[in-house]
Amino acid sequence: MTLRTLDSLGDLAGKKVIVRCDLNVPLKDGVITDDGRVRASLGTLRQLIDAGAKVIVISHLGRPKGEPLPKFSLKPAVVRLGELLGQEVKLAEDTVGESAKALVDSLENGQVVVLENLRFNAGETSKDAAEREAFAQQLAAFADVYVSDGFGVVHRKQASVYELAKLLPSAAGLLVQAEVEVAEKLTASVERPYAVVLGGSKVSDKLGVIENLLPRVNTLLVGGGMVFTFLKAQGHEVGASLLEEDQLETVKRYLTEAEERGVEIVLPSDIVVAEKFAADAEHEVVPANAITSSSFGEQGMGLDIGPESAKAFAELIRSSKTVFWNGPMGVFEFESFANGTKAVAQALTETDGFSVVGGGDSAAAVRTLGFADDAFGHISTGGGASLEFLEGKLLPGLEALGFEQSTEAK
């Protein structure tokens, strides 16, 4: 089966459509610091509004664990959504209670309401399928059809993602449809040469991706905190840098397999080593195989790839036809250790090929560093979902929409 899309739902005029969006925006002191996820939901919502549907938006924010905590209210996201849609968007005071029912009952064609944070109800994330089903039944009672448009949660078997999709006529929204098309370009129909850039703190977070992509990619570039486990696996000392001792044998196996497959694993040739983990830490550039020879000795910790590595990574990215990037090259939140991440992001904007920023910290990094979303081929809204798709895992939220992932690379 193929992914069911909005077209499969027919005429939606006057129908109540419940839309699972991802309005899980980052907040600081109650203020949104990145509204990318709200903006990503606009395409589907505008199409439903134009179709004359009565739109009920549902989402989570943070991890309130079944308790209605004010700090996790969707209010900031709803205010921003109303501004972007150019119409009043009301927020219910609960998820499936009297306030939600009253707001849904008052909907006119083309209007939008939002139910309060789904995770205020323990049934949303319950491990018990019966509890999830019961909550999904309450949500389903509000609507005629269901649209899944929160790609950031399609890898979760949760009430609003999985069970609800099975209770109502259901389809993917424009965002989920676009994300799946992009993910398939990275797995089943790849234009070569194909480079994958992986960073972030832990190798263990990327094991499945490396495993699944080794047979598919031409070049794997490794940076971020995870690189030190690779360097250690090659026999180099890494000082006080982040290290996962329990992953060394796995990484050695990857290095061997890559060589057998003719896949080039590119590690940094130089590292920015600091005396401590701090924005103002003293730091210097040393060869990647001589981290403990820095002025800081065994106490030195690598916090970014060095300038030569950044240049080499950028050249490889620019010469590739398909590039997927997930995970920063260093501690980009500290200006002194952001250069590697900045170089990778810049190169992705300059390649003639198809460039994908794999959500999560990578998406946050490009925006923090001042890059425009449209400078890239695609910025994913789902870090974990993107990675699990690339791992070849069956994602519950897509399975519920009739999607079967291709397991063969072309």
Cite the annotated binding site for ATP by residue number. 206, 302, 333, 359-362
DSSP symbols for 204-244: TTTHHHHHHHTTT-SEEEE-STTHHHHHHHTT---TTS---
Specify binding-site residues for substrate: 22-24, 37, 60-63, 119, 156
Residue with tokens 């497959």: 261
Amino acid code (one letter) for 47: Q
**Would you call 202 a catalytic residue per the annotation?**
yes
**Would you call 384 a catalytic residue per the annotation?**
yes
**Would you call 4 a catalytic residue per the annotation?**
no
Catalytic residue among 16, 75, 202, 393: 202
How many beta carbons lie within 10 A of that of residue 172, not counting itself?
28
Catalytic residue among 384, 392, 393, 402: 384
Cα 208 to Cα 197: distance, rounded to the nearest angstrom: 15
Tokens of 345: 């992001």
**Where are the extended beta strands (E) located within 47-155?**
54-58, 89-91, 112-114, 145-148
Which residue from 316, 329, 388, 393 is spatially nearest to 355, judged by alpha carbons?
Answer: 316
Catalytic residue among 37, 80, 342, 367: 37
Residue 24: helix, strand or coil by DSSP? Answer: coil
Specify binding-site residues: 22-24, 37, 60-63, 119, 156, 206, 302, 333, 359-362
Residue with tokens 């044998």: 249
**Would you call 253 a catalytic residue per the annotation?**
no
**H helix or E strand, kind and range, residue 50:** helix 42-50
Residue 49: helix, strand or coil by DSSP? Answer: helix
Active centre residues (catalytic): 37, 202, 360, 384
